[in-house]
Amino acid sequence: MNFKDAVAGLSGRLAKAKARPDLAEEATKNAVILPFLGMLGFDVFDPQEVMPEFTADVGMKRGEKVDYAVAIDGKIQFILEAKPLNCSLSSAQYSQLYRYFGVTEVHIAILTNGAEYWFFTDIDAPNKMDEKPFFKFSLEAWDDNDLRELEKFTKAAFDIDQVQETASALKYTRLAASYITAQMQDPDDDFVRLVGRSFYDGNLTAKVVETLKPNVKRAFDDILRQRVRQRLEVALGDDEAESDPQPATPSRKDDIQTTEEEWRAFYIIRAIGSEVTDAANITLRDAKAYCAILFGDNNRKPICRLFLEGATKSVVFFDAEKNEERVYVDGADDLYKYKERIRDVVGKYANAAP
């Protein structure tokens, strides 16, 4: 079994564990976390390699424990703190992990609830755990890039120097992405001036900057559209994309007509979804009241519902647990704004598929 298959298998195991909403911390460890460490190549039955309830004296505290310490060739390489499966890591307390990190020689700490794994190191200050993780891995939504990063933590591949180098790169990439995303949504004056210098010959006064700001924002939107359109062409084939055919919709009644805008929205969603699954898995099923976009033509796996006819247009998005949220849009092109949401639910369906 290759690494990708092993991760997919563990994702299926997680889905079964989540069927029990009352799963406590110890049960979470046994159901998912220990198998996760085993998947990374560690012998969870060897107490010299995977050390449960690892104890040390931390400052004035005696007998401070961390859930697991993991060693390679007798040297502890990372520590892990476990939370129950129903615990949100965003609101979790992990002061023990933070304190323990500061008095050991480890440079990697993991916080997990069995579904998500947050990886921390000490980029900002030596021997002091960073406040934010440099890498997050979710068993419910992962892609090949995530797998490549996770594989660096396997016993066979683990190299602390390479991991820290990767951590630094991921941190700065995340910060850069955060800045660029903010500029895409609302470019500030300094950014508009930076871009404006490349094409505007006059003096970039405050009034000129304010005039150029909508153009810079639109340029971002155009770039995003072009990238998605390129993926669409790859997903459908150049000839098919150019002729813009309409795929067959099962069980359609004669009086139901899928509009051009609905087809456009479908192609946009299919292009976005093709980043994490085969494009053929994204299907359209039209109805009188709305147009449904489904995963695998399965109405139990809805991606969204389109309400694009009439003056008021909207889209109802679903997550993998079937929770709904309606957003109002001007048209199909607004779906580019919800790229991450579409990608996330498609990825979760894809990873849960048998």
Which pair of structure tokens corresponds to residue 50?
């995977």
Q: What pLDDT, on a 0 to 100 scale, did the predictor assign at position 232?
A: 61
The pLDDT tens digits of the residues spanning 98-119 come to 777 766 678 899 999 999 999 9
Average pLDDT over residues 39-59: 85
**Structural domain of 223:** 186-236
Which phi and psi angles does 138 have, rounded to 5°? -115, 125
Q: What pLDDT, on a 0 to 100 scale, did the predictor assign at position 251?
A: 40
Domain co-membership, 251 together with 231: no
Average pLDDT over residues 258-272: 88
Tally the domains of the chain.
3
Domain co-membership, 30 together with 126: yes
Which pair of structure tokens corresponds to residue 254?
């004669």
Domain co-membership, 87 together with 223: no
Residue 201 pLDDT class (50, 70, 90 cuts)? confident
Domain co-membership, 221 together with 191: yes
Domain co-membership, 163 together with 17: yes
pLDDT at 336 over 80: yes
Which phi and psi angles does 337 have, rounded to 5°? -70, -20
Q: Is the pTM of this model over 0.85?
A: no
Domain co-membership, 217 together with 290: no
Distance CA 284, CA 293 (A): 5
Among 138, 172, 206, the domain boundary falls at 172
Q: What pLDDT, on a 0 to 100 scale, did the predictor assign at position 239?
A: 45
Among 172, 199, 228, the domain boundary falls at 172
Contacts of 50 (CB under 8 A, 6+ apart): 34, 37, 42, 43, 44, 68, 70, 71
179 lies in some domain: no
Residue of 214, 179, 181 whose CA lies nearest to 196? 214
Domain co-membership, 144 together with 289: no
Which pair of structure tokens corresponds to residue 91?
């609101």
* 224 or 243, greater pLDDT: 224
CB 39 within 8 A of CB 6: yes
Distance CA 112, CA 214 (A): 42
> Hey, what amino acid is at 89?
L
289 lies in some domain: yes
Domain co-membership, 155 together with 195: no
Among 150, 172, 194, the domain boundary falls at 172
Residue of 241, 224, 236, 318 whose CA lies nearest to 274? 236
Which pair of structure tokens corresponds to residue 324?
């709904």
Q: What pLDDT, on a 0 to 100 scale, did the predictor assign at position 58?
A: 54
241 lies in some domain: no
The pLDDT tens digits of the residues spanning 54-80 come to 876 555 555 567 889 999 998 989 999
Kindly report which listed range (48-52, 225-229, 272-276) carries the lowest average pLDDT score: 225-229
Q: What pLDDT, on a 0 to 100 scale, did the predictor assign at position 193?
A: 92
Q: What pLDDT, on a 0 to 100 scale, did the predictor assign at position 103?
A: 67
CATH number at residue 63: 3.90.1570.30
Distance CA 287, CA 76 (A): 58
